[in-house]
Amino acid sequence: MVDDGSTDSTRDIARFYALKDARVQVLELDKNGGPARARNQGAQRAKHAILAFLDADDEYLPNALNEALGYFWHSPERPAIRLNVAFTGYPAECVEFPGFADAEASMAESIASSLVIRRAVFNAMGGFPEDHIFREHGHEDFALQSALMAIYGYDKLLAHKHVRHHYHVDSHVARFFRSAAGTSNTWDGIPPSVHTTIAWYLDDVRVRLRAIESVSQ
C-alpha cells in the first residue's frame, strides 16, 4: 500500500491494517509525486510475480484477482490481462446516452485498476512513465496501455465485473463521460504534447526490450 503524501487520515488507516495483517506493507512517500511514481515505487517493492494496481477510488469485487491468476496459470505466454470495470454512482448525465457502452469499454481499458500484469514484463517496460507532462495532464495509464497493446496485445476478462470504480464529480473519468454524452465540454481530450510524449515512451519501451533481448541471447 503506497501513501503518496496524503493529507487526510489515509496513512493512519494504512498503518492500522498493516498492524493487523503482516501481508500489508505500507510505503509512505514524503510528498505527492503523482500516480505513476507511486505505482512504480510499489511495484519495485513487490515480491509476487504478478502485479495489480488499485487506486483509492476503486475496489476489487470478490474473486477478481483469483480469476486473473487463473488466466495467467492457463496462459503462461501472455503478459497481461484487463479486468471488467463497473462504474458506480455515476449520475444519469454521465452514463445515460447512446454511446455509453463504447465510452465505458474505452475507459475500462485505460484505468490502472483494471490492469493485471506480469512483474517481469512491467519491469522490462520500465513501468508507468513519470514524465512531468503526465503529472500535469494525466494519461500515464493510457501511455502504458498503448505500449502494451502495440507490443504484446492483451486479453480482457468480460464475463462479469471485477472492479468497482466509484464516482467523483471532477474526476478524469467523470469528465470523459460527460464530454462523450455531450453534456459538458470539461474534457479537452489528450493534448498533442501528451500524444507526442506517449510516442516517445513507446519508442523507449521498444529500445529497452530490444536491449534486454540482445543481452539474453
Task: Tell me how far apart the alpha carbons of residues 178 and 169 are, in angstroms, rounded to a whole number.
Answer: 10
- For the chain, the domain total comes to 1
H helix or E strand, kind and range, residue 88: strand 85-88
How confident is residue 170, by pLDDT bands cut at 50, 70 and 90? confident
Task: Tell me how far apart the alpha carbons of residues 184 and 177 are, in angstroms, rounded to a whole number.
Answer: 9
Inform me whether the pLDDT recorded for 59 exceeds 70: yes
- Residue 9 resides in a domain: no
- Residue 175 resides in a domain: yes
pLDDT digits 0-9 by tens, 9-41:
999 999 999 999 999 999 999 899 999 999 999
pLDDT digits 0-9 by tens, 120-146:
999 999 999 999 999 888 889 999 999
Task: Tell me how far apart the alpha carbons of residues 52 and 45 are, in angstroms, rounded to a whole number.
Answer: 13
Per-residue model confidence (pLDDT) at position 146:
94
- Residue 174 resides in a domain: yes
Packed helices 172-181 and 100-108: angle between N→C axes, nearest 10 degrees: 150
Average pLDDT score over the chain: 92
- Residue 12 resides in a domain: no
User: Which range of residues forms the domain containing residue 112?
Assistant: 49-216
Inform me whether the pLDDT recorded for 157 exceeds 90: yes
- Residue 101 resides in a domain: yes
